[in-house]
Structure 1
Amino acid sequence: MHIEDNGPNPHAFDIETATRENATYRTVAWTGKYLQVTLMSIAPGESIGLEVHPETDQFLRLDAGRGTCVMGPEKDRLTFEQEVSDGWSIQVPASTWHDVRNTGDEPLRLYAIYAPAHHAPGLVQYTAQEAEQDEESGRDEPPSWTVQPDSRADDEHA
């Protein structure tokens, strides 16, 4: 299934099918003025990567696979741990260190909703390494028409 990010315009698609079929690390599916939808696929034994978004709340929903979600107030103090699988949702408050690890033997397929928007619209990143390079180069920035916090703090990665 091909998804076209049409910016802050009305949009509808079968998110469960799109999530299950997505084979990229991250594909930005829709970017609104206040939130954003991305599709993700995490290979067995890999993870999203321990990170924190200082001013971004995040909602994740798993549509295939199984894993472990960890969260906490500091990267060395992950006080929350939960096994997750198809149908589970994860809510990540802003400023919370978090990671989702694929503990299964098939890709972990999920979608993420960021508020505010967090990535460049329509961006497709095939690997976590490509996502990291895009962030470092400034290629992965939310568009100017999104509403962002006044003091946009940089994300951190462990």
Structure 2
Amino acid sequence: MKGFVEDIEGLATRNDEFRKVLYTAKSCQLVLMALKPQEEIGAEVHQLDQFFRVEEGSGEAVLDGVRTTIRAGFAVLVPAGTKHNIINTGAAALKLYTLYAPPNHRDRVVHHTRADAEADSEHFDGKTTE
């Protein structure tokens, strides 16, 4: 089958990996993330658009210094060039998925922890899932 058709909410809530790339198309990429209590993605700026959807937990989205409380059901759209961070402020894991447009990571990469992600200099290499 071409494309990706799955229960994204179930995949996201069962995910315990800091980052797990599920599917990479030519122009966008689907990634699961799980942040431990008090963990954050880390402030960053991309030259691409990014969308987050929170499936479980609570935290803060910080976009160009503006902090907004987020929880399950919230969406965050980060335009290219925006300094941003997602922070888990809760006592349980913050489970979410994100879409990068265009892709940002190597297809199928898995980072078990934030430290693993920071130690890996991987970036999208042009190879898609199909």
Deviation at 1:142, TM superposition (A): 1.1
**Alpha carbon RMSD of aligned pairs, Å?**
1.3
- 2:90 corresponds to: 104
Mapped to 1, the partners of 2:127 and 2:114 lie a distance apart of: 26
Mapped to 2, the partners of 1:144 and 1:25 lie a distance apart of: 22
Structure 1: runs of 5 or more not aligned: 1-5, 73-77, 147-158
Q: 2:26 aligns with which of 21, 33, 47?
A: 33
Deviation at 1:145, TM superposition (A): 4.5
Q: 1:143 aligns with which of 122, 125, 130?
A: 125
- 1:3 corresponds to: none
- 2:69 corresponds to: 83
Map 1:35-74 → 2, pairs under 5 A: 35-53=28-46, 55-72=47-64
Maintained 8 Å contact 2:28/2:100: yes
Mapped to 1, the partners of 2:126 and 2:97 lie a distance apart of: 23
What are the superposed Cα offsets for residues 120-150 of structure 1, whole Å, 9 maximum, x if unpaired?
A: 0000100111111112xxxx2213246xxxx
Mapped to 2, the partners of 1:122 and 1:145 lie a distance apart of: 10
Mapped to 2, the partners of 1:131 and 1:36 lie a distance apart of: 17
Mapped to 2, the partners of 1:11 and 1:62 lie a distance apart of: 19
Q: What is the percent sequence identity of the aligned residues?
A: 37
What residue identity is the alignment partner of 1:33? Answer: K
SS state at 1:87 partner: coil
Moved over 4 A (4+): none
Maintained 8 Å contact 2:106/2:127: no
- The TM-score, its normalising length taken from structure 1, stands at 0.78
Q: 1:132 aligns with which of 80, 103, 118?
A: 118
Q: Which has the larger radius of gyration?
A: 1
With over 3 angstroms needed to count, the CA separation of the structure-2 counterparts of 1:123 and 1:145, relative to structure 1, is closer
- The TM-score, its normalising length taken from structure 2, stands at 0.94
